[in-house]
Chain A
Amino acid sequence: MDTLRTLLLSLLIVIAGGATLAAATDGFRAFTTESARRLAVREHAVPVPDFPLQSASGGHFTLQDLRGHWLLVDFVYTRCQAWCSVLGGEFAQLQDLLAAPIAQDRLRLLSISFDPVNDDPAQLAAYQHRFGDRGHGWIAARPLDGASLNLATRVFGIRVIADGTGGYIHNASIALVDPQGRLVRIFDSGRPDVVAAALQEMLAQ
């Protein structure tokens, strides 16, 4: 009798444990916060709220002004020695790989600084210059207040932590916003060819 009760309880524990694990990993598909975020965005497009930005030329605009274009968005800080330099170079490469849709004004690239105190328009312009900005289609900008910055990092799932030496550690990814202003995909950084191919496919649809 005890054996039967024990096996019954074992079965229950395995079922409940398995169900919990499945629920906690989106059906064994996402084990880290980052992969979960990508999966969620891919399955349900996330509307991006409007927030004000200041560009490298000093002009003010809001995200709403960019509606109607496809947008590739990354988050950087210009003093960064690590990921942001990869991302900066990558955006210049994407300007080449996606020259046609940029020329047709169907696509814009947008780098948003999460260090707006340091990254004034001059710093942003210098950052773009340093990584070989081709001169069109790439906007570097900073949020003008803390609330906008928080909103932007939260919507795009950017987590920034201080690295203890005055810099920041952050997840590096490239987000795709469709012309309706919805976040539809998140790409790994480091593979501009993959981003370009996926975008060509979506633009062709």
Chain B
Amino acid sequence: MRLRLPTIAACVMAVLVLVSPPARAWLESSMTAQMLVQLPLLAAVGAWMASALPASAGEWFARRDRWGINGLLLASMTSLVWMLPRALDAAVDDAWIAGAKFATIPLLIGMPLALSWRRASLVLRGVFLAETIATCFRLGWLYQVSPQRLCSNYLLNDQQRLGYWLLVIGAALFVLLMGKLLAGRFDPGPDAQMQGGER
């Protein structure tokens, strides 16, 4: 498969739209919009970009990404950095940090997640999802109860509203995961198939 130029162009366009001053002004005007709309959209663009990678690049990464662990690890580490209140503040105030945000969230979170997820085993996916749910609850609870503003650029009621929505999202993911565990069908993943493993 060759580099898919139309998809790449569309992804670049999507990032440009998100970087444009009106979109930034709107999505960065509240902590809730930034964390629940802007950052997920950027990651989604990265995931989309993964489908446009040339096969050779995909194979290069696949050889260094057994069980999908490195894509998930890279995405987790990058997310940790952008979960720092300081980093979110700086990305609003400083053009260089903003540039880093708009580049690393698609390339180091969205893209590796999309590439590694299908390689990840059932157990690894479960651990990753459980940790995502736990993070939603931890941050949501912190934002709900913290009497202090954690981001200098945003209001306390905005922080509490974000906390509420993180709890809702964490609960929804939990219900989905439980539903899948109780009633779903499982794809054991390519590794298990290769090893003749069973579900």
Contacts of A34 in B (CB 8 A): 152
B63 touches A161 (CB 8 A): no
Q: A32-B151, A33-B90 are in contact. Are A2 and B64 (CB under 8 A)?
A: yes
For the complex formed, measure the closest distance between the CB of B6 and the CB atoms of chain A, giving whole angstroms. 30
Quote the shortest CB–CB distance from B58 to chain A (angstroms): 14
- Are B80 and A21 in contact, CB atoms less than 8 angstroms apart? yes
Q: Which partner residue on chain A sits nearest B61 by CB separation?
A: A9
B: interface residue count bin: 20 to 34
Contact A24 B152 (CB under 8 A): no
Known A5-B63, A20-B81, A33-B86: A14·B151 in contact at CB below 8 Å = no
Nearest A-chain residue to B89, judged by Cβ: A33
Are B86 and A6 within 8 A (Cβ)?
no
Encode contact with A along B69-87: 1 for CB under 8 Å, 0 otherwise: 1100110011011001111
The A interface, classified by DSSP as helix, strand, loop or mixed, is helix
Cβ–Cβ contact A32 & B152, under 8 A: yes
Enumerate chain B residues within 8 angstroms of A169, measured Cβ to Cβ.
Answer: 149, 155-156
Which A50-71 residues sit within 8 Å CB-CB of chain B? Answer: none
Q: Smallest Cβ distance from B115 to chain A, in angstroms?
A: 13
A30 contacts across to B, CB distance below 8 A: 86
Shortest Cβ gap from A78 to chain B (Å)? 21
Residue B150 at the A interface, CB < 8 A?
yes
| Given contacts A10-B70, A13-B70, A17-B78, A31 and B84 within 8 Å (CB-CB) | yes
Known interface pairs A2-B66, A10-B70; A24-B84 also in contact (CB < 8 Å): yes
Q: For the complex, what is the distance from the CA of A6 to the CA of B80, rounded to whole Å? A: 21
Q: A201 within 8 Å of B by Cβ?
A: no
Q: Is the CB of B73 within 8 A of A10?
A: yes
Instruction: Please tell me if the beta carbons of A17 and B81 are within 8 angstroms of each other in the complex.
Output: yes
B7 close to A (CB within 8 Å): no
Residue interface bits A158-187, CB-to-B below 8 A is 1, else 0: 010101100001010000000000000000
Q: Does B51 contact A (CB under 8 A)?
A: no
B151 x A33 contact (CB < 8 A): yes
Is A205 engaged at the interface, CB distance under 8 Å to the other chain?
Answer: no
* Chain B, range 120-170, C-beta contacts under 8 Å to A: 149-156
Nearest A-chain residue to B70, judged by Cβ? A9
Tell me, rounded to whole Å, the shortest Cβ–Cβ distance linking A187 to chain B.
Answer: 15
Residues of B within 8 A of A164 (CB): 155
Smallest CB gap from B80: residue in A: A21
* Chain A minimum-CB-distance residue to B76: A17
CA distance A28 to B74 in the complex (A): 20
Determine the distance from Cα of A16 to Cα of B77 in the docked complex, in whole angstroms.
Answer: 9
Residue A97 lies at the interface, judged by CB distance under 8 Å to chain B: no
Q: Which residues of B contact A14 (CB under 8 A)?
A: 73, 77
24 sampled A-B residue pairs with Cβ under 8 A:
A3-B66, A6-B67, A6-B70, A8-B64, A9-B64, A10-B69, A10-B73, A13-B70, A13-B73, A14-B73, A14-B77, A17-B78, A21-B84, A30-B86, A32-B85, A32-B89, A32-B152, A33-B85, A33-B151, A159-B152, A163-B155, A164-B155, A169-B149, A169-B155
- A-B residue pairs, 5 tightest by C-beta: A17-B77, A6-B66, A33-B89, A33-B152, A159-B152
A interface residue numbers (CB < 8 A to B): 2-3, 5-6, 8-10, 13-14, 16-17, 20-21, 24-25, 30-34, 36, 159, 161, 163-164, 169, 171
Given contacts A20-B81, A31-B85, A161-B153, 17 further A-B contacts (CB under 8 A): A5-B63, A6-B64, A6-B69, A9-B70, A10-B69, A13-B70, A17-B80, A21-B80, A21-B84, A24-B87, A33-B85, A33-B152, A161-B154, A164-B155, A169-B149, A171-B149, A171-B152
